[in-house]
Amino acid sequence: MNILSIQSAVAYGHVGNSAAVFPLQRIGVEVLPVYTVNFSNHTGYGAWRGPLISPDDVRDVITGIEERGVLGEVDVVLSGYQGGEGIADVILDAVARVKAANPHAVYACDPVMGNAKSGCFVAPAIPELLRDRVVPAADIITPNQFELGYLTRTEPADLASTLASVDAARAIGPRTVLVTSVERPDRPEGTIEMLAVDDAGAWIVQTPLLPLKANGSGDVTAALFTAHYRATGSAAEALARTTSSVWDLLRLTHESGKRELQLVEAQEFYAHPRMQFEVTQVR
């Protein structure tokens, strides 16, 4: 499998492509990483150095890949955080070029906007751009529950309303939806869930909620779920494998007491997930 991953990069820590590429490689996926920024560290520190890469330069890198004649070998285009309006056009153009070269390729979009605790943390124009132009072009999306609500102008809360919001998202264009950070009011205390839905049904998985904020964990989740789903065609299998790997990554990070994801230390859990959490079909 070959994934063209258009995301940010940092020298220190693990977000964007600096979070997604290694776990994908560890499960045997070939990644073509294209960078949208090249920062010293993620912006959660409040200070960072390095350049935003202009949309024209990002497009030029993709054109160079195209000139090698390999876009037809790309199975998935993956995108995450979009720092400015111009990069959406580049991503959508890349998706069109890849699908022209390989009609079986898919586009997986992590529509990063914010979360329930902090609200939106992207530029003001980005959420509307994602909702109106980017998400409709995607085959797979991986929003958290907050982002799902924005995309569909709904308020997902319990399982029924979250499933209804997913149906509204699927009506926009993407056929497969992974909802991360699902926090149902009736769930057991100290737990959190993920929900995966495609044409075959809907599945949910529940894990203990670890007390940490881990920048980049959503990037790892989107990458692994996309790769497993593409490889198996099973949302349930992809959900089980992804949940197992990411939870162990977060557990190791929490036990380390460090701020950054322990991405390398957790590598065996990508290659050999323990499958310790039960996936339940809910529809």
* Fold designation for 2-281: UDP-N-acetylmuramoyl-L-alanine:D-glutamate ligase (3.40.1190)
Q: Tell me, what's the pLDDT at 213?
A: 87
First to last CA, the chain: 30
pLDDT tens for each residue of 120-158: 667 777 888 899 999 999 999 999 999 999 999 999 999
Report the candidate in 111, 157, 101 with the shortest Cα–Cα distance to residue 133: 111
How many CA atoms lie within 13 Å of 243's alpha carbon, on the beta-carbon side?
29
Condensed to tens digits (0 to 9), the pLDDT of residues 152-201 reads: 999 999 999 999 999 999 999 999 999 999 999 999 999 999 999 999 99
pTM: 0.97
Phi, psi of 237 (to 5 degrees): -65, -45
Pairwise CA distance, residues 17 & 19, whole Å: 5
pLDDT of residue 188: 94
Residue 66: per-residue pLDDT: 98
pLDDT for 82 equals: 84
Q: Grade residue 118 by pLDDT with cuts at 50, 70 and 90.
A: low
Average pLDDT, the chain: 95
Q: Which segments within 92-224 are labelled E, that is strand?
A: 106-109, 114-115, 119-120, 140-141, 176-182, 191-198, 201-208
Q: How does pLDDT run across 209-222, given as a tens digit for each residue?
A: 999 989 999 999 99
Residue with the larger pLDDT of the pair 8 and 116: 8
Cα–Cα distances (Å) from 153 to 146, 165, 175, in that order, read 10, 8, 18
What are the domain boundaries of the chain?
Answer: 2-281
Helix (H) or strand (E) holding 180: strand 176-182
Query: What's the confidence (pLDDT) of residue 249?
Result: 98
pLDDT at 244 over 80: yes
